[in-house]
Structure 1
Amino acid sequence: MNARPAPVHVALVGCGAVAQLYYRPALETLEREGLLRLTAAHDPDPVALDTFGDSFPSARRLTRFPEVLAISPQLVIIASPPRYHPEQTIAALAAGIDVHCEKPLAPNLAEGERMVAAAVEAGRRLSIGMVRRHFAATRAIGRLISNGNLGPLGSIDCFEGTPFTWPVRSVDFLRPVAGAAGVLQDIGTHCLDLLTWWLGSPSAISYEDDAMGGVEANCRIELMFGDVPATVRLSRDWARPNRYVITGRDGWVAWTVNETNHFDYGISGTGYAGDLTLHEASVGVRRPTLGAVAGEFDEAFANQVRVLVDPASDARERVPGADALTTLGLIDRCYASRRQMPMPWMVPAWRAAT
């Protein structure tokens, strides 16, 4: 009988909201399964560090990043603000440590390319936290598209957003000079990653937002995937449908954002549509049967770390850092060609000033 591999030693960098809300339960689950051990957590803010560290009594609490490298973990999870991702990731890779970096990989394409090149040079793994790729629903939708089940596509509409409630600890999150990420770099990273994962790179793109020299709260992107038009609308200040609709000649799918195991599917010419709940496939004695309902969000989030530490996992489920470069390039193109979106409620003097 083969001995179980020793748990992978992991350090987490950045103990803010994403760490507390998502990485903490994921790491707790994987520790209970014996797949990893959190050996250290780092944050320069001692309050954030202690809040996170209380869930992992055996983990060292480090306020300086070089201390993380000094203890030589096997995997570092970078969950710090995006402006720190390149420096911290490249340093960890150079120290011979694999890195899993939360999205966005970097503030821009050039920095992302430096990070990917550093991983190649060091011969280490660099993965990116694109949790939506781990949803059963998004995988099934991608397969329906690639298999041609919808026929030639006709249109794509993505409308996502809600009033901003993320529990930030600093106003730097909203200050451009501090490397703040607007709605495009935030939820837009997820949206553009899904579209390019399903459809490839767009042939054309146009962009408008309401930044006016600050950080955008609303934006609109028009893309062309070959001859298929796609519209993306994102907002941080008003509730939107949070729904993606992809229409083809032979059918359509509609997916509600962050529904991990559910989407709607219509078949053209039948007059029928269904709300599908995805299950694990289970082969019965005589025929395939439905197994358990596919995992929820917390399970999907944990899975993106599981595939890095579990030798039995499917390595094809890892999302390599290089996969983030397409989205980073699109975001750079958007910002380089940005136009001010129409805001008819502004008084004439304000419009003239902008």
Structure 2
Amino acid sequence: MTTEETIEKYTSTNTDHAETHILVIRLSAMGDVAITVPVLRTFRTTYPSVKLTVLTRKFFGPMFSDIANLEVYHADVTGRHKGIIGLTRLFNELRKLNIDAVADLHNVLRSNVLKTMFSLKGTKVVQIDKGREEKKALTRANNKVFEPLKTTHQRYADVFEALGYPIDLTHHKFPQKQRLTPNIVSLTQNSTKKWLGIAPFAQYESKTYPLELMVKVIEELDKQDQFEIFLFGGGKRETDILNNIGSKYNNVVNVAGKLPFEDELKLIGNLDAMLSMDSGNAHLAAMYGVPTITLWGVTHPYTGFMPFGQPSAYAILPNLAKYDQIPTSVYGNKVPSGYERVMYSITPEVVLEVLSTL
């Protein structure tokens, strides 16, 4: 579908100007986009007649497939919507959708440019308060204020409240499990064991469980013969590593590179549990209500990125007595000297013990 056809489609479905139309901006990253899903589900059940359009990257579109009266508008930030000229083009496209208000859940340079353009045309825009000062206090080495911050889910909800649409996330309802496609059935062989997803990678090494320790976890789980284990990752390097691991065990299947993203989401939604880093896959699993166990390195759940609806017992932390500067950053991009082996303080036995509670 061309851009012009997309605009015509959106415009034709929004002819009733009495219906409020909110543009929701969240361009990246995958985990942050996934965090919007429970919030938008709750919004939908609270305000069923309000139209939502989510501006995000095309790849993330399938995340929103279970939410009624919601459209996804693709932001081509590396192509036709790149730079100030591209953002002006994007704004002109979005104006044709008859947007009544804008919920900016991103608050970065691109969304700030769009904010200015919408505001100049009289459209109300509310941006997320990321709590930057609180996060600085939580992550600094000295005089650290070690207290749990507001969750990112709630920060998103606060944006809608400021627009005049308060929502209560305790009223959220997860969708029913989706039907498996033939591709998924072929991959899973309809195994009758419990389905466990394992996503062993993260953006930064500082919050990635050492591969040799994860292999020990997988090896023991394979011996127990209770789980069918599905390995998740992306990119050639990760795919090659996961292929190598999967080839060594009877109950382990590498998913990376074998399913389109839409099918991968369906598989995740049908898991019995997910074991993940503090990463996007944890939020993908949690948005379907899958029990999600997370391993944390130099980051910490107090920063507000605990997967939605998950108990604190599912967050496995390193030795905080030894590594008392944790969290050293919100995203894992700052590693003080001596903190390079933080993750080694989480033993495979501890991981297996938490998995045994499922």
TM-score category by the smaller chain?
0.3 to 0.5
Please, what TM-score do these two structures have when normalized by structure 2?
Answer: 0.34
Task: Write 1 or 2 for the structure with the bigger share of helix.
Answer: 2
Please, what TM-score do these two structures have when normalized by structure 1?
Answer: 0.34
Task: Write 1 or 2 for the structure with the bigger share of strand.
Answer: 1
